[in-house]
Amino acid sequence: MKGKKHAFCSRQCLADFSNKSKNPDGYSKLKDFTNISHHMTKLNKTMNPTRMTIETRTKLRKARLGTGNCNGYSKIYGRSAHRVIMEELLGRPLSTEEVIHHRDGNRYNNIPENLVVFPTASDHAKFHFEFRWFIRQLKRIQEVEDADSQ
Ligand SMILES: [Zn+2]
């Protein structure tokens, strides 16, 4: 076994060896991990000089813009936009149980026609489950029809 200094009898044995609290002198002694991020930056610069140019960074920024914020929903003053809009439509505050579903699957499409309220998260999940089942049935029918017409 080239390059391998340790052989382990089991996965558990390997896990115990790698565990810092169980074996503080384990892996940390095998290799020098200090300054590893510094080494990576240097390595990237020499081996991949065109990687993080201003152009790439601008592109990445644009591609990732608005996709952050933990859950990827647009926000109105820190609250999920679809919830604020639904409360406006209902004329009452939503309970924490209630879940808003986007009909077209696009979480940024917050026009009233695209929003549905589910009383709980499990009702919402059930809907998605049944909807997927329904789509599968449609596909099956389509396949049968396609086979018949050939
Ligand atoms: Zn949904």
Whole-number Å distance, alpha carbon 119 to ligand 1 midpoint, is 12
Q: What is the pTM (predicted TM-score) of this model? A: 0.47
Give the number of domains in the chain: 2
pLDDT in tens, 121-144: 999 999 999 989 988 999 999 898
**SS3 category, 70:** coil
Name 75's bridge partners: 80
Q: Give the pairing type, strands 79-80 and 115-118.
A: unpaired
pLDDT in tens, 99-115: 999 999 898 899 999 99
Query: In this structure, are 97 and 131 located in the same domain?
Result: yes
**SS3 category, 96:** coil
pLDDT reported for residue 139: 92
pLDDT in tens, 59-103: 877 776 655 545 567 777 778 899 999 999 999 999 999 999 999
Phi-psi region for residue 63, left (φ > 0), alpha (ψ -120 to 50) or beta? Answer: alpha
Whole-number Å distance, alpha carbon 140 to ligand 1 midpoint, is 23
Query: In this structure, are 94 and 50 located in the same domain?
Result: no
Choice among 14-18, 29-33, 105-109 with the minimum mean pLDDT: 29-33
Query: In this structure, are 93 and 140 located in the same domain?
Result: yes
Residue type present at position 15: A
Whole-number Å distance, alpha carbon 104 to ligand 1 midpoint, is 9
Query: In this structure, are 29 and 92 located in the same domain?
Result: no
Q: Is there a domain that residue 101 lies in? A: yes
pLDDT reported for residue 69: 45
| Domain of residue 133, residue span | 75-149
Whole-number Å distance, alpha carbon 118 to ligand 1 midpoint, is 9
